[in-house]
Amino acid sequence: MRIHRGVLSLSALVLGSGPRGVVFSNESDNSLCAWMPLAKRLVRAGFHVALYDYSGAGAYPDTLAVAAELRRLGTSRIGLVGASEGAKSSIAAAAKARAAAVVSISAERSLDGYGDLLPAARRLRAPILYLYARDDAVSELNTPQLYQATREKDKRLVAFAGFDHGTALLRHRAVPPLILRFLQDHLSPRRTSGR
């Protein structure tokens, strides 16, 4: 699928179907392929997922564009899942995308073209799962700061041993099932939130 935004366009791969949608947003130096094992697992669990590579317009507008397209394709509840750059864009985009859940892996405080994420974390009104590695020099301080700033009551911070950053955390055996359970719990049709 191609999403056109003025002179720029981005390519997205859409898998599965149904009312529960998940947008996967990449690290700045990774492609959508890093998400494929988890995306396939979510599809088998009944999710409608979209993976994409950035267009060059910026992570924040790209995340919003893919979320809007997934809604156009029939999803009623959307989760945003991102790693590093994608973690930051997922936090920034959550309110405008009307996200029902956010998973943020190795988020830092500042997003190119957007700025400091602390105000967006404070405004967040979607359940959020923050994941990071304790010895990841890029996010070991920033992810807990974003967690502390988040006023949403349904929030969780999980730290893992090691230096892994972004999608490298998916290699921890506990991470994929943790993300799957979180999305199942928060994107279920039985939840009555307006998100």
Instruction: Determine which of 63-67, 109-113, 130-134, 157-161 has the lowest per-residue pLDDT on average.
Output: 109-113
Please say if the pLDDT value at position 79 is more than 50: yes
Burial 22-35 (b: 16+ CB within 10 A, else e): bbbbbbeebebebb
The reported pLDDT for the residue numbered 195 is 44
**Structural domains in the chain, sorted by start:** 2-187 (3.40.50.1820)
Residue 191 above 60 pLDDT? no
Alpha helices, H only, the chain: 36-44, 59-72, 85-93, 118-123, 142-149, 175-187
pLDDT tens digit sequence for 36-62 = 999 999 999 999 999 998 888 889 999
User: Half-sphere exposure (CA, 13 Å, Cβ side) for 115?
Assistant: 3
Q: 7: pLDDT confidence band, cut at 50, 70 and 90?
A: very low
**91 vs 1, residue with greater confidence:** 91
Share of the chain above pLDDT 90, in %: 82
> What's the chain's average pLDDT?
91
Compare 14 and 30 and report the one with higher pLDDT.
14
Res. 10 pLDDT band, cuts 50 70 90? confident
Contact 78, 99 (CB under 8 A): yes
pLDDT over 70 for what percent of the chain? Answer: 92
